[in-house]
Each structure stands twice: as C-alpha cells, then as structure tokens.
C-alpha cells in the first residue's frame, strides 16, 4: 500500500514506519509544516499531537483517503460522520500493541470477580496527555469509577498495571511496552482490515482481534 504518515519522524512514527517499509508498504512522511498532501495514497496514518491529529485527519478525509490514528488525547467528534458521509474509514486506537489489548480483555474478565480495581499507568515524561488513552479505555471497560494513577518519568516507555483487590487477595495484570516497534503490529493489522470496516468511525484494536 501507499501510506501517508503524519509524524513519521516522531518516536512512535519512526519505529512504526520502519516496520511498515519492511512489510513492503511505501511510506510518504508528512511532518509539521509540510503540506498535508495525501493524494495517491491508499491510507493515512497519524502519530502526532492531540491538536494536529484532527486537522490532519480532516485534510486526509477531504482528499478521499481513509485514516488510521494512534495519536491520543483528542476526540474524533464529528469526524466519524464526516468520514461516513464520504464512504471512508476512520480507525482510532488508544493502543496499537496487541499485548495491551489482551491486558484490557483479561482485566474485563477479572473485573467480574473482584469488588475494586485501580489502574497505574506509567509513560515516558515526554507524553503530553494524562491519563493515557489506554488507561481511560480500561477504566471505562471495568466501570465503577475505577481510579487511574499516572506516572511520567524518563526511562519509561509505556506500561500499565490493573490491580484488583479482594478479601485476602490481589490480582495484578501488567503489560510493558519495551520498544515502540510493538505498535506496528496493530497498525499493520488496521491497514490490512481498513477496507473491511464499515464507513465512519471504529475505535479500538480489540475490534480487529478475535
Ligand atoms: P513525538 O515523538 O513528539 O512525535 C510526534 C511527531 O509528530 C513529531 O515528529 C512532530 O514533529 C510531529 N508533528 C507535530 N505536529 C504535526 C503536524 N501538524 N503534522 C505532521 N506531523 C506533526 O510523540 P510520540 O511519542 O511519537 O507520540 C505521538 C502520539 O502518538 C502521541 O499522542 C502518543 O500518545 C501517541 N501514541 C499512541 C500509541 C498507540 O498505540 N495508539 C503509541 C505510541 C504513541 P515536531 O517534533 O517537529 O513537533
């Protein structure tokens, strides 16, 4: 596929682009200040900032190109309808790592057996939003006002613990992203399945993993 990649030189972008190219995709990197020209591309991918993502997505959709978005800390709002009206797809996932999606699935299963849970999410200090999109999505799945604690420190990549407390027992479900290449698995899967999705907005890698 020919892929326009917003934020190709960022930390996540550069790791993902390498894997996309290794898988045989042709990538056109679009950086801050570049024209958002996605003409001739089969899909656009965005790993930028919460402010830039909606602008980039709208520009891509206006040019008739479906989008896969990894940027967190923004709301797609009416862009889902904007995509649907044009018969295009907007796929947004707060976490493109397959292990993190499984962590959320296992947490949902555990939630049925424990009265309370809290989430600790730990990310590199450069991460702009807190709590993380994955933590918010996990808390929503578990329900009951699950509290989230955010840690931002150098040395961290992306980590999350879901701690369940019960009478005389604790259960901790933990996922560690040790390299940003892990996000490429989910991006590759989303690109492969993009055309099979219904037009409009689809949220979450879990919708693609059976
Ligand atoms: P980063 O290193 O700061 O990279 C962001 C990149 O986007 C930078 O190269 C930046 O350029 C560029 N950029 C900024 N505005 C742009 C615009 N208008 N058009 C094109 N490019 C633009 O951050 P990161 O760690 O890679 O993370 C990027 C986003 O992805 C964050 O929201 C993060 O939370 C999210 N993320 C999501 C996942 C997931 O699995 N869903 C995984 C990792 C990261 P400059 O440096 O010149 O400003």
d(CA 105, CA 87) in angstroms, rounded, equals 30
Contacts of 78 (CB under 8 A, 6+ apart): none
For residue range 9-38, list pLDDT tens digits in order: 999 999 999 999 999 999 999 999 999 999
State which residues of the chain have pLDDT below 50. none
Look up residue 26 and give its two tokens. 């042709």
For residue range 52-64, list pLDDT tens digits in order: 999 999 999 999 9
Q: What is the pLDDT of residue 202?
A: 98
* pTM for this predicted structure: 0.88
Annotated catalytic residue: which of 25, 127, 159, 175? 127
Strand order in the sheet with 67-69: 26-30, 2-6, 43-46, 67-69, 89-92, 200-203
Answer yes or no: are the C-beta atoms of 103 and 79 closer than 8 Å. Answer: no
Contacts of 52 (CB under 8 A, 6+ apart): 6, 7, 32, 46, 71
Q: What is the pLDDT of residue 133?
A: 86
Hey, which of 4, 10, 176 would you mutate to test ligand 1's pocket, going by the most ligand atoms within 8 Å of its Cβ? 10
Which residue has the CA at smallest separation from atom 11 of ligand 1? 32
Look up residue 9 and give its two tokens. 């030189």
Look up residue 32 and give its two tokens. 């801050």
> How does strand 147-152 pair with strand 116-123?
parallel
When computed from its CA atoms, the radius of gyration of the chain, rounded to whole angstroms, is: 17
Answer yes or no: are the C-beta atoms of 160 and 131 closer than 8 Å. Answer: no
Measure 113 CA to ligand 1 centroid, in angstroms.
38
Hey, which of 49, 127, 129 would you mutate to test ligand 1's pocket, going by the most ligand atoms within 8 Å of its Cβ? 49
Measure 170 CA to ligand 1 centroid, in angstroms.
36
For this structure, is 159 an active site residue? Answer: no
d(CA 31, CA 49) in angstroms, rounded, equals 11
Spell out which residues line ligand 1, taking CB within 6 angstroms. 6-7, 9-13, 30-32, 47-49, 52, 56, 70-73, 93-97, 127, 183
Measure 208 CA to ligand 1 centroid, in angstroms.
23
Answer yes or no: are the C-beta atoms of 3 and 60 closer than 8 Å. Answer: no
Look up residue 149 and give its two tokens. 């604690």
For this structure, is 127 an active site residue? Answer: yes
Q: Sign of the C-alpha dihedral, residues 175, 107, 197, 44?
A: negative
Q: What is the pLDDT of residue 94?
A: 85
d(CA 73, CA 180) in angstroms, rounded, equals 18
Nearest alpha-carbon partner for 102 in 193, 174, 151, 169: 174
């Amino acid at each position: 596929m020919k892929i326009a990649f917003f934020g190709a030189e960022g930390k996540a972008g550069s790791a993902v682009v390498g894997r996309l190219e290794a898988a045989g995709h042709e990538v056109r990197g679009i950086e801050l200040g570049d024209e958002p020209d996605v003409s001739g591309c089969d899909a656009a991918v965005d790993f930028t900032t919460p402010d830039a993502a909606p602008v980039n997505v709208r520009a891509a959709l206006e040019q008739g190109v479906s989008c896969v978005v990894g940027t967190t800390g923004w709301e797609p709002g009416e862009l889902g309808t904007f995509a649907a009206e044009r018969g295009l797809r907007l796929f947004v996932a707060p976490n493109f790592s397959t292990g993190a999606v499984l962590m959320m699935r296992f947490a949902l299963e555990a939630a049925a057996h424990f009265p309370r849970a809290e989430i600790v999410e730990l990310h590199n200090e450069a991460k702009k939003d807190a709590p993380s999109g994955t933590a918010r999505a996990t808390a929503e799945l578990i329900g009951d006002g699950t509290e989230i604690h955010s840690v931002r420190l150098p040395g961290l990549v992306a980590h999350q613990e879901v701690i369940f407390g019960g009478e005389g027992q604790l259960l901790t479900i933990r996922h560690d992203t040790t390299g940003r290449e892990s996000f490429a698995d989910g991006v590759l899967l989303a690109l492969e399945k993009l055309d099979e999705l219904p037009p409009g907005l689809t949220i979450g890698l879990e919708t693609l993993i059976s």
